[in-house]
Structure 1
Amino acid sequence: MITYDGHVHTPFCPHGSSDSLESYVEAAIQLGYKGMTFAEHAPLPATFCDPVPAQDSAMTFSKLNHYLEEVKLLKEQYQRHFTIRIGLEVDYIEGFEEETRSFLNEVGPFLDDAILSVHFIRLADRYICMDYSPESFKECVLELGSVEAVYDCYFETVLKSIHANLGFHKPERIGHVTLVRKFQKQFPATFPYINKLKPIFAEMKKRNLSLDINGAGVKKPLCEESYPPVEIEKLVSEYQIHCIYGSDAHAASQLASGAAIVQPFFRSK
């Protein structure tokens, strides 16, 4: 049974809901959970231009300290009967490793937990938020030449995130490793893709990294599967990757997203 949610967003997310931190905690307690990690989108590097139309992919630097303070207060408030970890979901953006390392060196000491995720992929002369919309994914397909080429680019970027020197406070959990499949019903993989994950899992095992078993995709109409999907469970077990469930909730009502479906990842764990 899943009793911990390792990937929860907050009202500090500019593309999420205004639900209070307390509402997330109370909803989790009602679900029978024993704890959660608040993992808000970390501010993007100052010199990186967010390519989504509203430029709302992440929390702003101006709100970071307030976020850390508010989660710390909540952690203290609930410490006797519910575990709260202060975390961030940090974007790996190819070419911005130095700025990301500097940021983590500064904020890392104040964190209990963190996730390293890929949303942006670098094309020839620009970056695209691959999972923003079907249209943005289509842009990637047109520029790279095929759906398979987008998968390859995404997985290569995830592998680069694992290899990247992001300092002592580099996150030790890899987020939604198959996010590239968010629009898979519109852009189906007509090629075998599971083997493409083997180099990623091999490096994760070598570095003792954990895997975000993310239920958010189950409720996405063009995905309807977790990131990674349950069909990957045997491969994850083969590489002995430690799994942590994450709802990736951007509203309190989204807690436990996909939790029933991803149970195979947690049996006999």
Structure 2
Amino acid sequence: MYNLHSHTYRCHHAKGTDEEYVLSAIKNGYTEMGFSDHAPYIFPNGHKSNFRMDCDEAQGYANSVRELQEKYKGVIDIKLGFEVEYYPELIEKELEFLKSFKYDYIILGQHFTDNEYESYARYSGHETDSVAILDKYISQVLLAAKSGEFTYIAHPDVINFTGDREIYLKKMRRMVTELKKIGIPLEFNFLGFTTNRHYPNRDFWQIVSEVGNDTVIGLDAHRIEAYADKENLKKANEYLSSLGITPLKRVNLINYKKEITTIGDDSE
């Protein structure tokens, strides 16, 4: 019972206080949780995002999580993280900024191709039949994974490609195969599953099953109730089981390339 994908009110589309998320996690049997709110991004020309915390909120976010770590030490293991997009021209400066908060991990959430502030930037969740946009998404995900900076990839099937299915299958198999070589886990997104979004994409997860990638269930919690939704969590596990996928019981945050570990065994 762990979850590394939780948001806070600072991203402007989540509800509840930080401590309420912790208390809900404890109440529902979680032994480890991570806050991974949408990271503030240093954009050129003063661009301001409407779905992430501002840069001047980051220290308060980090302080809040660290205080909760101490308050609930021995009760639940709390981690400080961020959800970050890989924008090639901006990522180096972004990581330098985020590392000043001494985070425990970051996860990749590639919500846009290219970036967010140019006219040609594309939101990954919007329908597209453009192979070029699909290729761009795959390229940025692979660059992020190869950087070694990310613990896992959140909703790797968020790209909403509505073009030729055979093209999708071919290109996503290539991406999944490369990610398997790197060793980075892929997230089965609980929020998408419970709200009937275009992801999780069954074609995608069939490929994951065949390739054999490590898989994580991420609640992507935007409400404290996500931690209490045991019925749908059971269904998510059954969905994965039907594909022959068993989620990791634990992810090592320090070096996923070499030290992905599980706790216990099938007899427990």
Match of 2:57 in 1: 63
Aligned pairs (5 A) from 1:44-59? 44-47=41-44, 50=47, 55-59=49-53
Distance verdict in 2 for CA 1:148–1:49, change over 3 Å = farther
Partner of residue 118 from structure 1, selected from 73, 87, 110: 110
Match of 2:214 in 1: 242
Give distance in 1, aligned partners of 2:197 and 2:213: 27
Report if the CA contact (8 A) 1:120-1:127 is conserved. no
Report if the CA contact (8 A) 1:94-1:121 is conserved. no
Report if the CA contact (8 A) 1:50-1:57 is conserved. no
Give distance in 1, aligned partners of 2:29 and 2:159: 31
Q: Tell me which amino acid in the other structure corresponds to 1:12.
A: R
Distance verdict in 2 for CA 1:230–1:262, change over 3 Å = farther
Aligned: 1:160 with 2:143 = yes
Q: Tell me which amino acid in the other structure corresponds to 2:34.
A: T
Match of 1:179 in 2: 158
Give distance in 1, aligned partners of 2:225 and 2:114: 33
Give distance in 2, aligned partners of 1:48 and 1:262: 42
Give distance in 2, aligned partners of 1:129 and 1:49: 19
Match of 2:20 in 1: 23
Match of 2:236 in 1: 262
- Name which of structure 1's ranges 72-81 and 94-103 shifts more when overlaid on structure 2: 94-103
Distance verdict in 2 for CA 1:222–1:9, change over 3 Å = closer
Report if the CA contact (8 A) 1:159-1:200 is conserved. yes
Match of 1:130 in 2: 123
Give distance in 1, aligned partners of 2:47 and 2:234: 34
- Name which of structure 1's ranges 237-246 and 63-72 shifts more when overlaid on structure 2: 237-246
Give distance in 2, aligned partners of 1:153 and 1:25: 37
Give distance in 1, aligned partners of 2:247 and 2:112: 35
Give distance in 2, aligned partners of 1:247 and 1:38: 11
Distance verdict in 2 for CA 1:104–1:69, change over 3 Å = closer
Unaligned runs of 5+ in 1: none
Report if the CA contact (8 A) 1:230-1:262 is conserved. no
Shift of 1:79: 1.9
Shift of 1:89: 0.6
The residue matched to 1:40 in structure 2 has which SS? strand
Distance verdict in 2 for CA 1:207–1:233, change over 3 Å = same
Distance verdict in 2 for CA 1:241–1:104, change over 3 Å = farther
Unaligned runs of 5+ in 2: 249-268
Shift of 1:149: 4.3
The residue matched to 2:134 in structure 1 has which SS? helix
The residue matched to 1:262 in structure 2 has which SS? helix
Shift of 1:203: 2.7
Aligned pairs (5 A) from 1:218-229? 218-223=193-198, 225-226=199-200, 229=201
Give distance in 1, aligned partners of 2:194 and 2:86: 25
Give distance in 2, aligned partners of 1:74 and 1:13: 19
Match of 1:100 in 2: 94
Report if the CA contact (8 A) 2:155-2:188 is conserved. yes
Q: Number of residue pairs matched?
A: 238
Match of 1:38 in 2: 35
Report if the CA contact (8 A) 1:37-1:87 is conserved. yes
Distance verdict in 2 for CA 1:92–1:189, change over 3 Å = same
The residue matched to 1:38 in structure 2 has which SS? strand
- Name which of structure 1's ranges 172-181 and 153-162 shifts more when overlaid on structure 2: 153-162
Identity of aligned residues (%): 25
- Output the TM-score relative to the length of structure 1: 0.75
Q: Tell me which amino acid in the other structure corresponds to 1:4.
A: Y
Aligned: 1:203 with 2:183 = no
The residue matched to 2:44 in structure 1 has which SS? coil
The residue matched to 1:69 in structure 2 has which SS? helix
Report if the CA contact (8 A) 1:114-1:172 is conserved. yes
Give distance in 1, aligned partners of 2:137 and 2:187: 16
Give distance in 2, aligned partners of 1:150 and 1:30: 42
The residue matched to 2:37 in structure 1 has which SS? strand
Aligned: 1:151 with 2:151 = no
